[in-house]
């Protein structure tokens, strides 16, 4: 509570402090010139160019960062450039001072640029308010795994990183260890607020685990000493640096990490997938190095396909021997079992489709010198078409069986067993022709379909309707 009161006092003092002014010219390198085409006069008064600039200064053995909003705009038929100070941050504080900033309903942070000389005057827009450092984040943000992403705002710094570090050395935070951290400079004050409360953050940063300071800090046992605050051994430091996973997650999986000798991202990602799939009891997968290597080998197969494969095995009552547990090509094995499953579920529909083909659709077979078109003869045909062309025609089997739609398969004469294009015919009208990943047909396929259409007097093709 004492620290909070002291922080409030410092921020109150900072809010009342008259600091040095910055001339517009200091930000000239970020501005557009008067002869820039962007300055073309708009129909309505509006901003032409805007950005934020951070300016670092020393104050009372502390580092402060002042953030300015610069806008180049048209107002009352004239070009104007205005500057507003919108933020003040103080080293060691987890609160900040802001003004004129608001969260836009359309997303992001905006600056209120109007004053009493303009319409829509915003009352009290120049009063400093206290907010968490998390509020009105204009700069870098970081994922829990250490990846960086930016906001949509353009944020510059008047000071170089070396200049900021040199200023920091002149403050009481000279030994904070920030220079060893993975925090971007836009999050300097976030780091210093953590260090103010937990001086051990310096040690965590120096050993290269600074990313842990960007997660739930309650996981860290701050009352302990040295590595005991993290609950890890000396030889696990390098592993954590490579994996960059949350500390809580590391503790949860530490026994497996040691047992399987996991040291890389690739191995750990494969382990997480293995762990998830092993929850399918029927798979009977042991968390072993052999299983891990298998999942590493199949790193490009989605976890959903892998889980589906083992569920298919259970549904078909397959013996979970070594070959079924670890098929040579799990993608092919998955697709084969899927066909068996869906065919098994649709025996009645299968019979209905075959009857329709024999009674109604076989007569519409056609070929020229390059292509062949024939009705889909089974549910398996539709599934094979879906799997290899990566579209959704397999979901049409029920409507196809009931006569609500008609599905035809287009093949190249030289490769009749390989799916090429799929055609849907409804009430004598060609409604769609789709290839791999729903690709529209090329001109030679269109010409073939048009010949087929004319032969059997079908209605218009999709491409004709677009003309």
Residue that is last in its domain, among 309, 344, 379: 344
Confidence band for 106, pLDDT divided at 50, 70 and 90: low
Task: Give the mean pLDDT of 255-263.
Answer: 93
Same-domain pairing of 240 and 136: no
Mean pLDDT of the chain: 88
| Whether residue 69 has pLDDT greater than 50 | yes
Question: What burial class does residue 218 get, using C-beta atoms within 10 Å of its C-beta: 0-12 exposed, 13-18 middle, 19+ buried?
Answer: exposed
Residue 208 lies in a domain: no
For the whole model, what pTM was predicted?
0.67
pLDDT band of 1, cuts 50, 70, 90: very low
Name the most confidently modeled range: 102-106, 109-113, 260-264. Answer: 260-264
Measured distance CA(421)–CA(458) in Å, rounded: 18
Q: Domain check: are 336 and 354 in the same one?
A: no
- The CA distance from 422 to 435, in Å, is 6
The pLDDT-based confidence of 117 (bands split at 50, 70, 90) is low
- Residue 126 banded pLDDT, cuts 50, 70, 90: confident
Is the CB of residue 386 less than 8 Å from the CB of residue 347?
Answer: no
For residues 239 and 373, membership in a common domain is answered with: no
Q: 344, 376, 403 — which closes off a domain?
A: 344
Does residue 166 belong to any structural domain of this protein?
A: no
Find the mean pLDDT for residues 63-89.
Answer: 92
For residue 246, being part of any structural domain is answered with: yes
Q: pLDDT for 215-232, tens place per residue?
A: 889 999 999 999 999 999
Does some domain include residue 399? yes
Look-up of token digits 């046992």: 221
In a domain, 286, yes or no: yes
On whether both 236 and 293 belong to a single domain, the answer is no
Identify whether the C-beta of residue 83 lies closer than 8 Å to the C-beta of residue 26: no
For residue 151, name the pLDDT band (cuts at 50, 70, 90).
low
How far apart are alpha carbons 211 and 334 in whole angstroms? Answer: 39
pLDDT confidence of 50, banded at 50, 70, 90? Answer: very high
Q: What average pLDDT does this structure show over 261-277?
A: 93
Write the CATH number for 410: 3.40.630
pLDDT at 119: 46
Indicate whether 340 and 351 sit together in one domain: no
Tell me, yes or no, whether 459 and 368 share the same domain: yes
**pLDDT of 199 strictly over 90:** yes
Torsion-angle region of residue 261: left (phi > 0), alpha (psi -120 to 50) or beta? left
Claim to verify: residue 334 and residue 448 sit in the same structural domain: no
> Is residue 205 in a domain?
no
In this prediction, residue 144 carries a pLDDT of 44
The whole-number pLDDT of residue 141 equals 54
The number of distinct structural domains making up the chain is 4
Backbone angles phi, psi at 55, to 5 degrees: -125, 120
Q: Which of 158, 173, 196 is the last residue of a domain?
A: 158
- The residue range of the domain holding 278 is 260-344
Q: Does residue 17 register a pLDDT over 50? A: yes
* pLDDT the model gives residue 112: 85
**C-alpha to C-alpha distance for 463 and 1, rounded to whole angstroms:** 72
No. of helices (H) and no. of strands (E), the chain: 16, 15
Q: Residue 466 pLDDT > 70, yes or no?
A: no
Do 274 and 251 belong to one domain?
no
pLDDT at 446 over 80: yes
- The verdict on 331 and 358 lying in the same domain is no
Is residue 141 assigned to a domain? yes
Better-scored residue on pLDDT, 340 or 104 = 340
Confidence bin at 172 (pLDDT 50/70/90) = very high
- Same domain membership, residue 41 and residue 62: yes
Q: Are residues 308 and 286 in the same domain?
A: yes
In the predicted structure, residue 350 carries a pLDDT above the cut 90:
no
Check whether residue 220 and residue 361 sit in a common domain: no
How does pLDDT run across 80-100, given as a tens digit for each residue? 999 999 999 999 999 999 999
Mean pLDDT, rounded, for 413-424:
94
Contacts of 148 (CB under 8 A, 6+ apart): 140, 141, 142, 184
Whether 40 maps to a domain, the answer reads: yes
**Quick one: pLDDT at residue 346?**
72
| Mean local confidence (pLDDT), 385-414 | 92
């Amino acid at each position: 509570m004492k620290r909070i009161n002291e922080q409030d006092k410092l921020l109150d003092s900072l809010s009342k402090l008259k600091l040095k002014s910055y001339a517009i010219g200091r930000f000239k390198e970020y501005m557009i010139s008067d002869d820039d085409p962007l300055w073309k006069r708009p129909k309505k008064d509006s901003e032409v160019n805007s950005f934020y600039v951070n300016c670092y200064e020393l104050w009372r053995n502390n580092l402060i960062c002042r953030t300015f909003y610069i806008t180049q705009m048209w107002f009352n038929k004239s070009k104007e450039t205005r500057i507003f100070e919108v933020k003040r941050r103080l080293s060691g504080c987890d609160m900040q001072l802001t003004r004129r900033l608001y969260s836009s309903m359309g997303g992001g942070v905006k600056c209120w640029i109007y004053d009493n000389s303009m319409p829509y005057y915003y009352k009290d827009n120049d009063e400093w308010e206290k907010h968490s450092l998390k509020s009105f984040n204009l700069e870098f943000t970081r994922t829990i795994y250490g990846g960086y992403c930016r906001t949509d705002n353009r944020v510059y710094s008047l000071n170089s990183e070396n200049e900021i570090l040199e200023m920091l050395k002149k403050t009481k935070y000279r030994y904070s260890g920030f220079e060893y951290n993975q925090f971007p400079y836009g999050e300097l004050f976030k780091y210093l607020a953590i260090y103010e409360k937990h001086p051990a953050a310096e040690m965590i940063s120096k050993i290269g685990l600074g990313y842990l300071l960007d997660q739930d800090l309650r996981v860290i046992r701050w009352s302990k000493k040295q590595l005991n605050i993290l609950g890890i051994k000396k030889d696990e430091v390098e592993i954590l640096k490579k994996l960059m996973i949350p500390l809580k997650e590391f503790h949860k999986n530490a026994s497996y990490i040691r047992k399987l000798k996991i040291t890389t991202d690739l191995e750990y990602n494969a382990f997480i997938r293995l762990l998830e799939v092993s929850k399918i009891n029927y798979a009977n997968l042991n968390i072993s190095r052999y299983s891990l290597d298998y999942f590493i080998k199949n790193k490009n197969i989605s976890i959903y396909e892998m889980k589906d494969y083992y569920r298919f095995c259970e549904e078909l009552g397959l013996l979970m021997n070594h070959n079924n547990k670890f098929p040579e090509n799990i993608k092919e094995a998955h697709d084969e079992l899927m066909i068996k499953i869906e065919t098994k579920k649709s025996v009645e529909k299968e019979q209905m489709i075959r009857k329709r083909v024999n009674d109604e659709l076989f007569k519409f077979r056609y070929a020229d010198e390059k292509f062949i078109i024939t009705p889909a003869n089974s549910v398996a045909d539709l599934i094979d078409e879906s799997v290899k062309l990566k579209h959704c025609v397999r979901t049409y089997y029920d409507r196809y069986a009931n006569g609500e739609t008609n599905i035809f398969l287009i093949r190249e004469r030289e490769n009749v067993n390989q799916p090429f294009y799929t055609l849907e015919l409804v009430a004598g009208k060609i409604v769609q022709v789709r290839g791999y990943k729903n690709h529209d047909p090329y001109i030679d396929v269109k010409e073939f379909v048009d010949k087929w259409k004319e032969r059997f007097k079908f209605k218009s093709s999709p491409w004709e309707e677009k003309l």
